[in-house]
């Protein structure tokens, strides 16, 4: 497979150097693998720290900035960052108001963030955690106990980040982050396999003419394989899977997310089908975001994430944000 890299061993460091060159508003510690707001810590503000394996860009470094994360910790490709990174990030963004760790539900991430929270608290940093587990496709998977954390991570980071920027205390920011996670569900579909730099070839076999329903963001198996379906059929399947679990009684945020190799032309067409499916089922959509936000390197496919919102959550979603990958209102 052809890749725009030097050698697999330096992929993450090279990307971090590129982020630093493109975004002077960020502080990028390439050696210690921490990306932070240059103005951190912000007086009186709860710090938000997230992270995970690289390969899901723009998650998480692309979401560092006003209105979202205070810092991000990128691990190696599809590998959890280590506790030392998280402790450094927490110390860099703590203003004395505490730090919230936003953790996707993968075993390595959960264990390392828990260890980091203990170490940070030993250093005098108050830490709360929220674990994102929104994927309805499977109850357990290759890397998880319980549901996987996927697209809802963006909703949690955006809404909790807006509340933190308003000066809310740590317990309130953590409670709203958990509320968003509890109100969110996701379902993903793979049309093609993912290729990691270290392997240099597809990590699983998906024959031509087939797709996998319920795939994870690391190429983990889903619910089932079927012959290729139309965009409308995929939208119906994904929306049904989500609504069987979420059962919203009000408007939702909708994220139609590309997995890395699906063009926007296809994603917007798929978004039309998702809106059609939701309308037929009586679910109003308050806001929609379409694009590549929680990816899996070069995987072809998409995911749908829905989050039921009230007026307060919608207000926080609409609040200004300025990051490398998400910005409005500023």
| pLDDT tens, residue by residue, 227-240 | 999 999 999 999 99
pLDDT(75) > 90? yes
Catalytic residue positions, numbered:
56, 218
Q: Cα separations (Å) of 130 from 2, 26, 175?
A: 38, 24, 9
- The 10s digit of each residue's pLDDT in 274-294 is 999 999 999 999 999 999 999
Q: What per-residue confidence (pLDDT) applies to 143?
A: 67
Q: What per-residue confidence (pLDDT) applies to 84?
A: 97
Q: What per-residue confidence (pLDDT) applies to 168?
A: 98
Whether residue 313 contacts residue 180, with contact meaning beta carbons closer than 8 Å, is answered with yes
Whether residue 50 contacts residue 13, with contact meaning beta carbons closer than 8 Å, is answered with no
Average pLDDT, the chain: 96
pLDDT(95) > 80? yes
In the block, residue with structure tokens 């810092």: 71
Number of Cβ within a 10 Å radius of residue 289:
18
User: What's the whole-number mean pLDDT along residues 92-106?
Assistant: 97
pLDDT(141) > 90? no
Of 23, 123, 113, 130, the closest CA to residue 66 belongs to 23
Q: What per-residue confidence (pLDDT) applies to 101?
A: 98
Q: What per-residue confidence (pLDDT) applies to 142?
A: 67
Band (140; pLDDT cuts 50, 70, 90): confident
- Rounded to whole angstroms, how far apart are CA atoms 66 and 61? 13
């Amino acid at each position: 497979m052809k890749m725009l890299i030097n050698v697999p061993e330096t992929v993450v460091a090279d990307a971090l150097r590129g982020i630093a060159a493109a975004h002077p508003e960020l502080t990028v510690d390439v050696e210690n693998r921490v990306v932070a707001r240059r103005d951190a810590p912000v007086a009186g503000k709860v710090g938000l720290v997230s992270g995970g394996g690289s390969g899901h860009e723009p998650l998480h470094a692309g979401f560092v900035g006003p209105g979202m994360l205070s810092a991000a910790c990128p691990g190696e490709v599809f590998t959890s960052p280590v506790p030392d990174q998280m402790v450094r990030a927490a110390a860099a963004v703590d203003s004395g108001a505490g730090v919230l760790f936003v953790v996707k539900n993968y075993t390595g991430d959960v264990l390392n963030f828990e260890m980091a929270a203990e170490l940070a608290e030993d250093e005098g940093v108050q830490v709360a955690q929220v674990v994102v587990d929104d994927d309805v496709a499977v109850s357990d998977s290759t890397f998880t106990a319980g549901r996987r954390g996927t697209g809802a991570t963006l909703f949690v980071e955006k809404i909790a980040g807006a509340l933190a920027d308003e000066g809310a205390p740590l317990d309130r920011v953590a409670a709203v982050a958990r509320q968003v996670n509890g109100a969110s569900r996701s379902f993903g579909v793979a049309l093609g396999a993912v290729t990691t730099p270290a392997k240099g070839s597809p990590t699983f076999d998906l024959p031509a003419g087939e797709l996998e329903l319920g795939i994870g963001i690391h190429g983990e198996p889903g619910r089932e394989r079927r012959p290729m379906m139309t965009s409308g059929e995929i939208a119906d399947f994904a929306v049904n899977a989500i609504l069987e679990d979420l059962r919203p009684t009000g408007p939702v945020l909708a994220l139609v997310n590309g997995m890395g190799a699906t063009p926007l032309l296809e994603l917007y067409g798929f978004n039309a089908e998702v809106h059609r499916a939701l309308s037929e089922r009586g679910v109003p959509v308050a806001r929609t975001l379409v694009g590549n936000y929680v990816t899996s390197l070069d995987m072809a496919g998409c995911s749908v994430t829905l989050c039921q919102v009230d007026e307060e959550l919608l207000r926080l979603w609409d609040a200004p944000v300025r990051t490398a990958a998400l910005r409005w209102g500023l």
